[in-house]
């Protein structure tokens, strides 16, 4: 098994070099022979993301002869896995979207460490920061196959042109731009309040930029409380936006019923009069823009999350592949996912960002995404992982509970900063205790 996996690694590294290499027969990844074996992979993706991932798995099937089934999982994935592990029906591999989920999977004894082949691929192709994120107590478990740059604001260029607004660099400029867009007759910002994770991302960007990375790490580990003054300040800053009914598409109550995909599509449909001018979220927004008629790079552009403090924040997220069974197929798949070909397949589909250094950025479908990807690789270890994804799932990753719920209540009533902090601290205290 190890030999086979190592062979895959070698060819994977070989393929990372050239421009013309893709259509070349010689260095093409030829995986271990897994004919007749089945590998099951659980992921929460649906829609176009699922389709793109399926293409990646098809390539794996082609090179190894294994049959890969994609198991659709529900949020929270840890809970989903729990229900499967209880009966011994867990998939071979799970795509875990949170650092906290990896830790929980390890703590529960479900996760299997990376095999030699996969580990080699990981150290060759990934920066130390990303490798560490997939490790628990020094043992590597996860391969970050897909990354997200969550510090981006996408805007409808027609709206900005009509309002005569430039891309804002700071939070004050951002609010001023929002006001001008509003004056021009368009609601400036689309917030996906129905999906709590987008709200945690809003908070994290403001907090990371305003309070700085040190505080950010402390809060992520719950070493400082959510009632801390730095949190008060960040929430008050956020209330500059959330507290202004005119700035939010549909007002606060409308935002609370807007799901993430709708928050994007409503920003890029409706010609000169979309329901909103800007929408905040990661690079994966491009997938949803792809479902509208808007063209990325001309109709839809992106600017970095405005700096609230000194620097613009760089919050990232990612999905790590973790083996849940000691099977040859599982390890071979992890090795494959740690190599550049797999990432290039999805990169071509769009809405994808790889933390893999070896990936040829020519694979990205447009300049906007290429820039985002190169910025991510360049950021090196200055990145901060999505805080809610580092938190225990009960706090940072469960619909209708914990941080999601507290921030949704905050969006409903942005005046109640103290109440929000109390609710956050209560939920955090309960979740981190365990």
Partner 1 sequence: MSAREPALGSRIAARLSGGLVQFVLVVVGLFWLMPTVGLLLSSLRAPGDIAESGWWTVFTAPAQLTWENYQGVLEDGAITGSLLSTVAITVPATVLVIVIGSLAGYAFAWLEFPGRDWWFVLVVALLAVPVQVALVPVSELFGWVGLFETTAGVVLFHVAFGLPFAVFLMRNFFAQIPKELMEAARLDGAGEVRLFTRVVLPLGGPAIASLGIFQFLWVWNDMLVALVFADSDSPPVTVALQQQVRQFGNNIDILAPGAFLSMIIPLAVFFAFQRQFVSGLMSGAVK
Partner 2 sequence: MADGTKTGPAAAPPAPARRRRRWTPVLFLLPALVLLGALVVYPIGYSVVRSVLDKAGESFVGVDNYVTLFTDDSIRTALANNLIWVALAPTVATALGLVFAVLTERVRWGTAFKLVVFMPMAISMLASGIIFRLVYEQDPDRGVANAAWVAVHDTFNESSAFPKAHPGPKSPLEKSEGGSFTTREPARAGEPVLLPLVGVAPDKMPEDAAPAAEAKADPGKVTGTAWQDFTRGGGGTPSVVDPEELGYPGIRVEAVKDGKVVAETRAGPDGTFALPAEADGAQLRFPADNFREPYNGVDWLGPSLVTLSVISAYVWMWAGFAMVLIAAGLAGVPRELMEAARIDGANEWQVFRRITVPMLAPVLGVVLVTLMINVLKIFDLIVVIAPGSSRDDANVLAVQLYDSAFGDRDLGVASAIAVLLFLLVMPVMVTNVRRLRKEARR
Contacts with partner 1, residue ranges (CB under 8 A): 40, 42, 46-47, 69, 71-75, 83-84, 86-89, 91, 259-262, 265, 269, 288, 291
How many DSSP H helices and E strands does the chain contain? 20, 12
- Give min distance, CB of 246 to partner 1, in A: 23
Under rule CB under 8 A, residue 238 binds partner 2: no
Three-class SS of residue 144?
Answer: strand
Nearest-approach distance from CB 73 to partner 1, in angstroms: 8
Q: How far is the CB of 88 from partner 1 (least distance, A)?
A: 5
Name the residue with tokens 């992982």.
Answer: 385
Residue of 18, 76, 93, 47 whose CA lies nearest to 332? 93
Q: What is the Cα–Cα distance from 22 to 17, expressed in whole angstroms?
A: 10
**Could you say which of partner 2, partner 1, none residue 69 binds, taking C-beta under 5 to 8 angstroms by partner kind?**
partner 1
**How far apart, in whole angstroms, are the C-alpha atoms of residue 238 and residue 294?**
29
Residue 190 and residue 275 in contact, taking contact as beta carbons nearer than 8 Å? yes
Report the partner that residue 46 touches, choosing among partner 2, partner 1, none (CB closer than 5 to 8 A by kind).
Answer: partner 1
Q: Per CB under 8 A, does 78 bind partner 2?
A: yes
CA distance 345 to 52: 8
Residues 180, 227, 291, 312: which binds partner 2 (CB under 8 A)?
Answer: 180
Reduce the DSSP state of residue 277 to 3 states and report it. coil
Q: How far apart, in whole angstroms, are the C-alpha atoms of residue 368 and residue 375?
A: 11
Q: 94 is in the binding site of which of partner 2, partner 1, none (Cβ under 5 to 8 A by kind)?
A: none
Nearer to partner 1, 92 or 120 (CB): 92
Nearer to partner 2, 163 or 353 (CB): 163
List of E strands, 223-355: 278-280, 300-304, 315-323
Per DSSP, the three-state class of 68 is: strand
Q: Does 243 bind partner 2 (CB under 8 A)?
A: no
- Contact flag: residue 254 with partner 2 (CB under 8 A): yes
Contacts to partner 2 by CB under 8 A = 76, 78-80, 82-83, 161-165, 180, 182-187, 193-196, 246, 250, 253-254, 256-257, 259, 272-273, 394, 398-401, 404-405, 408, 412, 434
């Amino acid at each position: 098994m190890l030999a086979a996996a190592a062979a895959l690694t070698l060819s994977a590294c070989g393929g990372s070099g050239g421009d013309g290499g893709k259509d070349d027969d010689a260095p093409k990844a030829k995986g271990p022979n897994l004919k007749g074996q089945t590998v099951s992979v659980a992921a929460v993706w649906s829609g176009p993301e699922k389709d793109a991932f399926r293409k990646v798995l098809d390539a794996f099937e082609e090179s190894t002869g294994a049959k890969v089934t994609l198991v659709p999982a529900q949020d929270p994935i840890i809970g989903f896995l729990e229900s499967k592990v209880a009966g011994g029906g867990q998939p071979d591999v799970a795509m875990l979207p949170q650092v906290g989920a990896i830790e929980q999977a390890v703590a529960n004894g479900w996760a299997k460490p990376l095999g030699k082949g996969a580990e080699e691929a990981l150290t060759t192709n990934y920066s130390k920061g990303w490798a560490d994120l997939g490790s628990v107590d020094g043992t590597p478990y996860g391969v970050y196959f897909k990354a997200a740059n969550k510090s981006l604001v996408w805007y409808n260029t027609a709206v900005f042109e009509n309002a005569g607004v430039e891309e804002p660099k700071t939070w004050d400029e951002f609010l001023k731009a929002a006001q001008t867009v509003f004056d021009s007759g368009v609601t400036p910002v689309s917030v996906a309040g129905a999906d709590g994770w987008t709200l945690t991302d809003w908070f994290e960007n403001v907090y990371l930029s305003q309070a700085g990375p040190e505080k950010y790490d402390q809060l992520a580990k719950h070493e400082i409380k959510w009632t801390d003054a730095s949190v008060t300040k960040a929430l008050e800053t956020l209330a500059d936006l959330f507290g202004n009914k005119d700035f939010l598409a549909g007002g606060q109550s409308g935002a609370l019923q807007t799901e993430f995909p709708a928050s994007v599509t409503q920003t890029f449909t409706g010609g000169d009069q979309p329901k909103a001018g800007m929408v905040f979220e990661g690079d994966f927004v491009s997938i949803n823009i792809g479902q509208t008629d808007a063209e990325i790079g001309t109709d839809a552009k992106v600017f970095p999350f405005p700096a609230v403090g000194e620097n613009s924040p760089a919050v990232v997220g990612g999905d790590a592949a973790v083996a849940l069974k000691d099977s040859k197929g599982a390890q071979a798949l992890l090795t494959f996912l740690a190599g550049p070909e797999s990432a290039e397949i999805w990169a071509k589909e769009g809405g994808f960002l790889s933390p893999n250094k070896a990936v040829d950025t020519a694979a990205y479908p447009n300049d906007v995404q290429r820039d985002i990807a190169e910025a991510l690789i360049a950021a090196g270890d200055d990145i901060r992982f999505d805080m809610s994804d580092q938190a225990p799932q009960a706090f940072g990753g469960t619909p209708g509970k914990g941080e999601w719920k507290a921030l949704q209540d905050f969006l409903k009533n942005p005046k109640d900063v103290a109440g929000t902090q109390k609710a956050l601290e209560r939920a955090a205290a309960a979740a981190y205790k365990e």
